[in-house]
A and B are shown apart, each in its own frame.
Chain A
Amino acid sequence: MIKIKAKDVDVFYGKKQALFNISLDIEENQVTALIGPSGCGKSTFLRCLNRMNDVIDICSVKGEILINDFNINDKGCDVVRLREKIGMVFQKPNPFPKTLYENVSYGPTIHGIAQSKQEMDEIVETSLKKAALWEEVKDRLHEPGTGLSGGQQQRLCIARAISVRPEVILMDEPCSALDPIATAQIEELIDELKKEHTIIIVTHSMAQAARVSQNTGFFHLGQLIEHGSTDKIFKNPDNKKTQDYITGRFG
């Protein structure tokens, strides 16, 4: 089933066009990886999906992005509610400099999800459990989140993202600052999370894209060159550019 349908998306930074005519369908409860060289627009595209590009004054987005058949670029779309539905995990682990508990409870608090302290405790616990962090931190929920290791911090960020039960989770190079063990833990987590969430991950590691995703899209110079099932892309891509990129023959 198609969860997100992008149609002819163009993105401009001032006069410079960053994305050209991107049309991409994203399957529900699957992991879609976006790969491509630096500056190819894959992160820009990812940030279109929860309208994080709004923060940048000079950035303008054209085209339709339908999530559950609702165009999020419509004037009537409320950004705050959109971002409740679409969580995001960033490249560098960025927990709030507050306690672990406050980190995870922040989303439910501002969106008024929990009715009582008890309910909030449950949300925090399930989110941390889903992020495979509960066992490691259950005794120090009230210590600052910045005291964790990099991998734990990133899992905390994932727990924070899933605390509001988003339908889609966007991940912008979530493992680029982590060591291989922490990376493996996150990858395992992604595999678990896709049962309940649709995941879109931008990654520089092709091996990672190959490991975690079911679908892969290859971006180059602001264009979507090829999009298809991951094993097709990595075993026998249709496009010469894709092949050159994934085999390391670029430029």
Chain B
Amino acid sequence: MPEAPHTVKSYEEELKNLNANIIKMGSSCEEALGKAIQAITTRNSDFAEAVINDDEKIDKYETLIEQQVVNLIALRQPMAIDLRETVTALKMSSDLERIGDLAKNISKRTLLLNENLPKNLVDTLNRVSTSVQKQLKSTLDAYLERSAPMAVNVWEGDEQIDDLTNLCMQEVIKYLKENEKNLEDGTHLLFVTKNIERIGDHTTNVAEQIFYLVKGEYLEGDRPKGTVPIVTGEK
């Protein structure tokens, strides 16, 4: 829902600018995640390097957004929708920054992995990563559209991610059990899986914030969880 412009034009500009930065930061994260996944599935170390290098850009976005938010609060005292925009931007930027960090971590581990991984393992990994990537994309779309239903969709989709992660974990554990030589790769893969799952969690966080941004209320109820939570060590 587009708002009428502010009476104070510079205020309007600042809010638009903040909004644009969030979108830019979001798409950077999306790109980083995509490259990280490609790097691990296609065993392309160039992509991995790119992700590691680009993380700095994402960190800078976070700092920039934080400054803008502090300025807005200090100088403009935003109210109602503007206040929610501002506060949401602050929280989103820290989640997005975490997503960037996790993608970087995945890429670092990718560089250390053996060239030959079992195909079914890569497939499973690919499946969960693609879902997470989709989730992130729809979250950013929800932000662009200021759409609460889209945010709710993402939020509900987290359950599937958890299930897929569990599956993937089981695959990795199986791989570990096969051979003692797989210990190093397996451990890295465990972390990679866990990181992907965490990216999913942060994405869900962002979706919750978008819901608050649009509706001014919190998403009620427990976050949907996967069916077999033992392996992830979470409730």
Answer whether A and B touch in the complex at a CB cut-off of 8 Å. yes
Q: Contact residues of A with B, CB < 8 Å? A: 206-207, 210, 234-237, 242-244, 246-251
Q: Contact residues of B with A, CB < 8 Å? A: 3-8, 11, 77-84, 215-217
A243: chain B residues at CB < 8 Å are: 80-81
- Would you call A234 and B80 a contact (CB within 8 A)? yes
Question: Given the complex of chains A and B, what is the CA–CA distance between A249 and B84 in angstroms?
Answer: 15
A-B contact count (CB 8 A): 42
A236: chain B residues at CB < 8 Å are: 80, 84, 215-217
Question: Given the complex of chains A and B, what is the CA–CA distance between A235 and B215 in angstroms?
Answer: 10
Question: Given the complex of chains A and B, what is the CA–CA distance between A196 and B133 in angstroms?
Answer: 59
Closest beta carbon of chain B to A189's beta carbon, Å: 23
Question: Given the complex of chains A and B, what is the CA–CA distance between A250 and B3 in angstroms?
Answer: 11
User: Who on chain A is nearest to B77 by CB?
Assistant: A207
A210: chain B residues at CB < 8 Å are: 79
- Would you call A234 and B79 a contact (CB within 8 A)? yes
Closest beta carbon of chain B to A250's beta carbon, Å: 6
- Would you call A247 and B5 a contact (CB within 8 A)? no
A207: chain B residues at CB < 8 Å are: 77
Closest beta carbon of chain A to B212's beta carbon, Å: 9
- Would you call B77 and A235 a contact (CB within 8 A)? no
Question: Given the complex of chains A and B, what is the CA–CA distance between A11 and B82 in angstroms?
Answer: 34
User: Who on chain A is nearest to B85 by CB?
Assistant: A247
Give 15 A-B pairs besides A206-B79, A207-B77, A247-B3 with Cβ atoms closer than 8 angstroms.
A235-B84, A236-B215, A236-B216, A243-B81, A244-B3, A244-B4, A246-B80, A247-B78, A247-B79, A247-B81, A248-B8, A248-B79, A249-B4, A249-B7, A251-B7
User: Who on chain A is nearest to B4 by CB?
Assistant: A249
B216: chain A residues at CB < 8 Å are: 235-236
Secondary structure dominating the interface of B: loop
Closest beta carbon of chain A to B2's beta carbon, Å: 11
Question: Given the complex of chains A and B, what is the CA–CA distance between A251 and B79 in angstroms?
Answer: 17
Question: Given the complex of chains A and B, what is the CA–CA distance between A194 and B84 in angstroms?
Answer: 30
B217: chain A residues at CB < 8 Å are: 236
A237: chain B residues at CB < 8 Å are: 80
A251: chain B residues at CB < 8 Å are: 7
Closest beta carbon of chain B to A202's beta carbon, Å: 18
18 contacts between A and B (CB under 8 A): A206-B79, A207-B77, A234-B80, A235-B80, A235-B84, A236-B84, A236-B216, A237-B80, A242-B80, A243-B80, A246-B79, A247-B79, A247-B81, A247-B82, A248-B79, A249-B4, A249-B5, A251-B7
User: Who on chain B is nearest to A246 by CB?
Assistant: B79
Question: Given the complex of chains A and B, what is the CA–CA distance between A202 and B81 in angstroms?
Answer: 23
User: Who on chain A is nearest to B1 by CB?
Assistant: A240
B79: chain A residues at CB < 8 Å are: 206, 210, 234, 246-248
B8: chain A residues at CB < 8 Å are: 248
Closest beta carbon of chain B to A236's beta carbon, Å: 3
- Would you call B80 and A248 a contact (CB within 8 A)? no
- Would you call A235 and B83 a contact (CB within 8 A)? yes
B6: chain A residues at CB < 8 Å are: 247-249
Closest beta carbon of chain A to B18's beta carbon, Å: 14
User: Who on chain A is nearest to B78 by CB?
Assistant: A247
Question: Given the complex of chains A and B, what is the CA–CA distance between A246 and B76 in angstroms?
Answer: 12
Question: Given the complex of chains A and B, what is the CA–CA distance between A207 and B80 in angstroms?
Answer: 12
Question: Given the complex of chains A and B, what is the CA–CA distance between A243 and B81 in angstroms?
Answer: 7
User: Who on chain B is nearest to A244 by CB?
Assistant: B4
Which residue, of A210, A237, A248, has the highest number of chain B Cβ atoms within 10 A? Answer: A248
Question: Given the complex of chains A and B, what is the CA–CA distance between A249 and B76 in angstroms?
Answer: 13
Query: Given A235-B216, A236-B216, A236-B217, are A248 and B7 also a contact pair (CB < 8 Å)?
Result: yes
User: Who on chain B is nearest to A207 by CB?
Assistant: B77
A248: chain B residues at CB < 8 Å are: 6-8, 11, 79
Closest beta carbon of chain B to A61's beta carbon, Å: 32
B77: chain A residues at CB < 8 Å are: 207
Question: Given the complex of chains A and B, what is the CA–CA distance between A248 and B79 in angstroms?
Answer: 9
User: Who on chain A is nearest to B7 by CB?
Assistant: A248
Closest beta carbon of chain A to B29's beta carbon, Å: 28
User: Who on chain B is nearest to A234 by CB?
Assistant: B79
